[in-house]
Structure 1
Amino acid sequence: MIELKGVNFNYVSFEKRPGLKGSINDLFHRKKIEIPALKQFNLTIDSGEIVGLIGPNGAGKTTLIKLLTGIISPSSGQVRVGGFQPDKKEKAFLKDIGVLFGQKSQLSWDLPAIDTLNMLASIYELPKDRFQRRLTDLATMLDAKEIIYRPVRKLSLGQRVKCDLMCALIHSPKYLFLDEPTIGLDLVAQENIYKFLRQENWLHQTTIIITSHNVRDIEALAQRLMIVSKGSLIFNDSLDKLPIDVSKQKFFNVKYLSAEKTVQARIPEAKLTAVLNKVKADELIEVSREGISLEELILEIYKNENS
C-alpha cells in the first residue's frame, strides 16, 4: 500500500535582483524563496492497483513520483510505500520498486540490453535460476528474445522501451513507476506495451503508477485516475466519475452530399441547427451523436480549475 498524509514539498530557490549592483548584493545577501510544489497532499493506493496520474506541466506530478521513489524528501508530512519511508533508501525498499522514465534510459548505448540485465541481476542479488526464469518470462511476453542481444543503438524506439521495461521489472518489484512510458511510440507499439503491463499486473499483482500526457495510456491501463493541479489532488476516482456533465458536451457527426461529394463534419451542438438548415433533406446521409472524449473532459477540468 502507498500512503501520503499531509505531505508538503517546497523547492528552494533564490530571488535575483536586477542590474550589476543587484548581482553584487546577491553574492553576499541572497534572498531565499520557497516555491510550493505539493500542498497538504493526501493519497492512498492499494496493492495491485493501476493508477493514472495526470496534470498540466508544473502541476506536481514529477515531484510526487520523486517522493514515492525516495529521490527527494517531503518538506513535511508522511510518505509510506509498502511500509517503508522511501527517502531512507533501505535495501529492502529499493528491491520493491521499479522505475521507468520515458525520456531517460538505463541501457548502455553501445552494449546489448542483456549486459544491463546481467548487471541488474547482480545489483539486486538475484539467484541465477530465478534470474533466468524471469528473463525468459519477460522476453517471451514482450517478444524480445532476440533484441536483448543486439546493441541498443541498433534498436528501434519501441524495442528500447521493451528492454527498459525488462530492466525495470527483472527483479519482480511490487511497485512499478512509469513516467511517459509510450512517448514517441506508434499505436501498434503502444498497444503491445499496454497488453504487457495489464498481464504483468494480473499475474503478479504489481502496483503500477503511470504518469503520462498521452490520454490513451490512461484509458488503456488505469483503474483509477488522479488529476494533480497546482500541487493539489483535484480528482481521485474512476474514469466514469469525472466531474463534468457529459450531457452538456454534445458533438454530432454529420454526413451529407455536397457537389456530388460526401462531406463528413464534427459539429458542436450549438451549431448543429445552422448546419442542417443549409443541407437539403435529400442530401443528408447521417447524423449521429458522439460522447465527449476523455481528453476533452480533462481539458475542461483544467479550464475550470484555472478559471
Structure 2
Amino acid sequence: MIEIDQLSFDYRTFSKEPGLKGAGKTTLTKLLTGIIQPTSGSVKVAGLIPGSHQKKLLRQIGVMFGQKSQLSWNLPAVDTLNMLAAIYQLKPDRYQARLRELCDLLDIVEIVKTPVRKLSLGQRMRCELACSLIHEPSYLFLDEPTIGLDLLTQEKIYNFLKTENRLHQTTIILTSHNVRDIEALAQRLLILSKGELIFNDSLNKLPLQIDHADSYCLKYWINDQADVREEIIHDPQQLFVKMEKFQPEQIISLSKSGISIEEVILKIYQREKQ
C-alpha cells in the first residue's frame, strides 16, 4: 500500500523563487522511491518511509526512468543483470529462473548478450525493464517509459507490463504524457498540474474519450510509386493492419498528432473553479 499525506517538495535554485513548478510527476516518483525527501508531509510505501533507504523497502521496489539508464554503455546488459543479482543477494537458481522468464517475455534472449551501445532505443528500454524487475519487486515505478519509442515497441512494453502484473501481482505506478500509455495500462488515473492533484478516479470517470485523442497520418506510394496517398487513422490497431498490407518501401512517412490529456483536464477543472 502507498500512503501519502499532505506531501510537498520545494525546489530551491539561484534562477527562480522557491517552489515546485511543472506537473511534478517525476518529482513524485523520486519521493515515492526515496531518491529525494519531502519538504513537508509524509509518504509510506509498504508501510515504510522511502527516504530511510531501508533494505526491506529497496528489495520491494523497482524503478525505471525513461531518460536515464542503469546500463553500462560498453557492456552487455547481462553484465548489469549479474551485478544486480549480486547486489540484491539473489540465490543463483532463483536469479537464473527470473532471468529466463524476463528474457522470454521481453524477447531479449540474444539482446542481453550484445553491448548496450549497439542496441536500439527500444531494445535498451526492454533491457532496462529487466533490470528493474530482476529482483521481483512488489512495486514498479516507471517514469515516461515509452518516451521516444515507436508504436510497435510501445505495444510490446504494454503487453509485457500487463503480463507481469497478472503473473506476479506487481503494482505498477507509471507517469506519462503519452495517452496510449494511459489507455493501455491504467486502471486508476491521477492527473497532476503545477504540483496539484486535479483528478483521481477510475478511467471511466474521465471526462474525455482518450481512445480518440490521437490520430496518425500515414503517407504511402501506390501504383509503382506513381501516386501518393494520405490517410488519417485514429485506431492504432487499424494502423497496424493497414501497414501490414504495404512493403516497407511503399511507406513514405508516419506522423502522430493529438491533444494533451493533461491540458484538457486542466481546462475542465479550471472552469469549475472560476
Q: Which TM-score bucket, shorter chain as reference?
A: 0.7 to 0.9
Structure with larger Rg = 1
- Give the residue type in structure 2 aligned to 1:35: G
- Partner amino acid for 1:191? E
Between the aligned partners of 2:40 and 2:180, the Cα distance in structure 1 is: 34
TM-score, structure 1 normalization: 0.70
Distance 1:81 1:219, change over 3 A: same
> Structure 1 residues 83 and 148, CA, compared in 2 at 3 Å: closer, same or farther?
same
Residue from 112, 124, 132 that aligns with 1:168: 132
Q: How does 1:28-177 map to 2 (within 5 A)?
A: 33-36=17-20, 58-177=22-141
Corresponding residue SS for 1:198: helix
| Secondary structure in 2 matching 1:10 | coil
Aligned equivalents of 2:266, 2:161: Cα separation in 1:
28
Q: For the structure 1 residues 142 and 297, does the alpha-carbon distance in structure 2 shift closer, same or farther, using more than 3 Å as the test?
A: closer
**TM-score by structure 2 length?**
0.78
Instruction: Give 2:93's aligned amino acid.
Output: D
CA distance in 1, matches of 2:137, 2:68: 19
Residues of 2 paired with 1:176 and 1:163: CA distance? 15
Q: Which residue of 2 aligns with 1:183?
A: 147
- Match of 2:3? 3
Q: Matched residue of 1:197: which SS?
A: helix
Count of aligned positions: 230
Inter-CA distance 264–100: structure 2 relative to 1 (3 Å threshold): closer
Q: Does 1:242 align with 2:226?
A: no
Considering only aligned residues, what root-mean-square deviation do their CA atoms show, in Å? 2.5
Identity of aligned residues (%): 62
Could you say if the C-alpha distance between residues 174 and 191 of structure 1 is closer, same or farther in structure 2, counting changes exceeding 3 Å?
same
Task: Indicate the SS of the match to 2:94.
Answer: helix
Shift of residue 302 of structure 1?
A: 2.3
- Give the match for residue 28 of structure 1: none
Cα separation, 2, equivalents of 1:162 and 1:304: 36
Question: What is the SS of the residue equivalent to 2:191?
Answer: strand
Q: 1:211 aligns with which of 169, 175, 178?
A: 175
Unmatched 5+ stretches in structure 2: 213-228, 234-257
SS in 2 for 1:168: helix
Question: Does the C-alpha gap of structure 1 residues 108 and 231 become closer, same or farther in structure 2, counting only changes over 3 Å?
Answer: same
Select the structure with the greater relative contact order (CA < 8 A; seq sep ≥ 6): 1
Retained in 1: the 8 A contact 2:71–2:77? yes
- Between Structure 1 and Structure 2, the one with more strand by share is 1
Q: Give the aligned residue type for 2:9.
A: F
Instruction: Give the Cα–Cα distance (whole angstroms) in 2 for the partners of residues 152 and 263 of structure 1.
Output: 37
Amino acid at match of 1:91: K
Please state how far the C-alpha of 1:5 moved relative to its aligned partner.
0.8
Q: Runs ≥4 in structure 1, deviation > 6 angstroms?
A: 262-266
Per-residue deviation at 1:296? 6.3
**Residue 243 of structure 1: how far off its partner (Å):** 3.7
Conserved? CA contact 1:242–1:297, under 8 Å: no
Q: Which digits, 9 at most, give the CA deviation of each residue in 1:74-94, with x for residues without a partner?
A: 112110000110000011111
Corresponding letter in the other structure for 2:100: T
How far apart in 2 are the matches of 1:263 and 1:115?
Answer: 46
Match of 1:232 in 2: 196
Aligned equivalents of 1:304 and 1:11: distance in 2? 28
Report if the CA contact (8 A) 2:61-2:140 is conserved. Answer: yes
What is the CA distance between 1:150 and its match in structure 2? Answer: 0.7
Q: Which residue in the other structure is 1:13 paired with?
A: 13
> What is the deviation of 1:300?
2.0
